[in-house]
Structure 1
Amino acid sequence: MNRIALALVSVLALFFAATAQSAEIKIAFVNSSTLLEQAPQADIAKKKLEKEFAPREKEIRDAQQTAQALETKLNRDGVTMSDSDRSKQEQELNRQLRDLQRMQSNFRDDLNLRKNEELGKLQRVVLAAIKDVAKTKGYDLILAEGVVYAAPQVDITSDVLAKLKQDVSAGK
């Protein structure tokens, strides 16, 4: 039984090798990391996130300054305050610091969530551009991650980057 299976596998391998030789297969490589970094859509997404989170960032800076001012006042005037006033000031400072930590934590969580959403959108745009370039230029196979070496003549990263730039200027 093993000899029959081995013979069948050998025949199939020869058949596929002959088929591959008879038709030219066009293969290319694309560096998706470079595309995700250099695509103009990445800059657009970054600016969008900065604009979206700027008010909360300012709110956190203001809260930091307020807490720092209260701490400075407490350090400077604490020795001359009554015990009850100093205790109230310390409690207020602790409350402000807890609020600040909560604000910072929520900010980081929300920012990371939005970054991941924007990255997902960017990945879909880059993938669509890769597929478009592959179809336009007649490639049968495009390789990306996990490639140890790709000769410059099969690297179409610059073609895909040009397509992404064209899409931005066309308003897509």
Structure 2
Amino acid sequence: MKHYSSKIVLGLVIALAGFSASAQEFKVGVVNLDRIFREANSAKAAQTKLEQEFSKREKELNDLATQLKTQSDKFEREAPTLAESQRVARQRQLVDLDRTFQNKRREFQEDLSARKNEELQQVIERANKVVKTLAETEKYDLILQESVYVNPKHDITDKVIKALNASR
């Protein structure tokens, strides 16, 4: 669906550009969202906020993984000398610990992903407001987000990043 809509937009741009060339200059700009996510201060601040918010849980998860590895290695070394009942009990403990680890890791990933999406959505909303303001003040006819190729003269990402950083 997105593929078709981008072809339609591209067709409209080409048609409008050809039509407008005779009447007046058609002004197009393109914004690279990936660069905004990497370079804008608000995106960097969001990343730092997420790292601080999730660092404690990530450390706990890493500690649990280390504990699981240590106990598993110890079990592998001692298994041949253990009585059958002890071996079965230790295997159960390892399986339980692994299950706990897997659940916590999955929850961590889901929570991190959800929060990351929230933060990135806020950055996108702020960037879209800046783009709209820029389009109105500099009289752009069309501003696109993302494209296969952009002539550098149409790339307004630097302007958007500068405006985003200034509005902080």
Normalising by structure 1, report the TM-score.
0.75
Stretches of structure 1 lacking an aligned partner (at least 5 in a row): 1-16
Change (3 A) 1:74 1:22: closer
User: Residues of 2 paired with 1:136 and 1:26: CA distance?
Assistant: 12
**Aligned-pair distance for 1:22?**
5.1
> What is the correspondence of 1:24-103 to structure 2 with a 5 Å cutoff?
25-103=26-104
CA contact (8 A) 2:37 2:44 kept: no
Q: What CA distance in whole angstroms lies between the structure 2 residues aligned with 1:64 and 1:76?
A: 18
Between the aligned partners of 1:59 and 1:163, the Cα distance in structure 2 is 39
- Cα distance in 2 for residues equivalent to 1:75 and 1:42: 46
Q: Secondary structure at the match of 2:146?
A: coil
Radius of gyration: which is bigger?
1
Q: CA deviation at 1:61?
A: 1.0
Partner of 2:151: 151
Aligned-pair Cα RMSD in Å: 2.4
CA apart distance, 1:21: 5.1
2: CA distance between counterparts of 1:35 and 1:161?
Answer: 6
- Paired positions, count: 152
In structure 2, the CA distance between the partners of 1:152 and 1:75, relative to structure 1 (3 Å rule), is: closer
Report if the CA contact (8 A) 2:30-2:146 is conserved.
Answer: no
Task: Tell me how far apart the structure 2 counterparts of residues 93 and 131 of structure 1 sit (CA, whole Å).
Answer: 56
CA distance in 1, matches of 2:61, 2:112: 14
Q: What are structure 2's unaligned runs of at least 5 residues? A: 1-18
2-structure distance, mates of 1:145, 1:77: 58
Any idea what SS the aligned residue of 1:130 has? helix
Equivalent pair of 1:74/1:89 in contact (CA under 8 Å): yes
Distance 1:158 1:72 in 2: 52
The residue identity in structure 2 corresponding to 1:139 is Y
Q: CA deviation at 1:24?
A: 5.0
Q: 1:79 to 1:165 in 2, by over 3 A?
A: same
Give the C-alpha shift of residue 141 in structure 1: 2.7
In the aligned structure 2, how far is the partner of 1:105 from the partner of 1:32? 28
Instruction: Tell me how far apart the structure 2 counterparts of residues 64 and 149 of structure 1 sit (CA, whole Å).
Output: 44
Report percent identity of matched pairs: 35
